[in-house]
Amino acid sequence: MSYRIDFSSIAKAEADAAFLSFCQYTTPDRAQAWYQRLIKAISSL
């Protein structure tokens, strides 16, 4: 059985804020890679 995952606007905003915060501590490329893995992990639920 498969389920559909919906991102709420709050969850999307929090993920975006985490990305922007992470950008302050690492390179933009690493932050982008982290963000893509985050979205992929959530989508795999």
Number of H helices, E strands in the chain: 2, 0
- DSSP code at position 5: -
Q: What is the pLDDT of residue 23?
A: 92
Q: What is the pLDDT of residue 3?
A: 78
Please tell me the pTM assigned to this model. 0.75
Q: What is the pLDDT of residue 33?
A: 96
Could you give the CA distance from residue 21 to residue 15 in angstroms, rounded to a whole number?
Answer: 10
Q: What is the pLDDT of residue 38?
A: 92
Answer yes or no: are the C-beta atoms of 1 and 38 closer than 8 Å: no
The predicted-structure confidence for 3-37, as pLDDT tens digits, reads as follows 787 888 999 999 999 999 999 999 989 999 999 99
Q: What is the pLDDT of residue 6?
A: 84
In the numeric block, the tokens 């795999």 are attached to 44
